[in-house]
Structure 1
Amino acid sequence: MTESPILIALVNDYDVVTTGLATMLDRYRERVLIAEIDLNLGVADQVDIVLYDTFAQPESDVDELSTLVANPRARRVVVYTWNFHPDLIERARGQGTDGYLSKTLPAKDLVAALEQVHSGETVISPQAPHARTAPGLDWPGRGEGLTDREAEVLALITQGMSNAQVAELTFLSPNTIKSYIRNVYRKIGVGSRTQAVLWGVDHGFTPDHHRIEHWRGGP
């Protein structure tokens, strides 16, 4: 265990996602302390680790990770995701990230993994097939019964992406994307893509693009 808390910046464009993760980690604030929550990649504080949550982010876009890795205020960068496609892991590692951690990790295991990264290790967590997302996380549409993956697909199509683009960004098959979309339509009670996008706009599926400083007394 480190003598002082590891300073963490959370990066994602969705307020509900980052604040949910911050709340989950808050129980371990003697070990990890949220220094800031960035929703536009502009990390401003000197932090030990940037935790990049991939919800509805183009995790296959190397430019975003490159921006974080090149930021002199961030000592290390860790990807936080449910998608463990080997090509995504290899691409992230090639960009210089220091960890690739699963959203299935319980909070205590996530904190332990961040401590390993902080000590200089490269940590890639094992991903159990069909595992549930760790308790405590949040995402748009959860209250309406959308899973995190269904919500992510809806967020991407709300941003105007086609099925093919969503499949390419998430490294999922087009048929899998179609299956998620059918499930989304059923759960939110719509019958068309246009209706789904309008519903998404009205229910928090558009990016926030702002910054939350000094989370609950952080530095």
Structure 2
Amino acid sequence: MPLTILVVDDDEGIRLSLKDYLELEGYIVVIAEDGWKALELISQCQPQLVITDISMPRIDGFAFLKSLRQQPAWRLLPVIFLTARTQTQERVQGYQSGCDVYIEKPFELPEIGAVVKNLLARSQLIQTAWLQYQQVPEPVPVAAHAASVSVAAPLLDDHFSLTDREQSVLDLLSEGMSNAQIAATLFLSPRTIEKYVTNLLRKTDTSNRAELVRFAMDHHLVE
């Protein structure tokens, strides 16, 4: 499933050139003319990366990014500032606001493409590593381990079953996807995905995503 990029710039020419180039690179691109419109769109499009200008009407790039970073769902979202503001103090302010990369205009599209690819790859690695970290079991005393090595995973109840949609969500969870990424992949809202995850936790009697994935692997519910 293609990843989604949100491009925010009040210059229509720049918006369209970035959209055309990034779509040719295989991404889904959503555009907004200022930070206000971007904040309206972001929950709908659930982007994996944002490219934004700084100097824009209504809400500028600094205020837009500050608003994003105040929301837990977007604190780790990769953000590129693409701007004609080149003063050192502005660059410092950009990084202090939470941008990942600061690129000056005029720019070359291949550079944008390389930066986007690198940030997205790093973001995916961080999410995968975090999920794996959550799944690392705590050290078990030798005696306890010896007593448990021969114990197989408990059998599932005869009435245990998952709907096709729950299975799809579970499969994507096991791949390390976030709720936002699952929602984008399945063309559902993040709130709907949260409900499916809650149902899965209830059905498997687990308390978090890591336990859920471990349960699914122990009972061969995922490959």
Superposition TM-score tier, normalisation by shorter sequence: 0.3 to 0.5
TM-score, normalising length: structure 2:
0.43
Rg comparison, structure with higher value: 2
Higher RCO, Cα 8 Å, sep 6+: 1
Q: More strand per residue: 1 or 2?
A: 1
TM-score, normalising length: structure 1:
0.44
Q: More helix per residue: 1 or 2?
A: 2
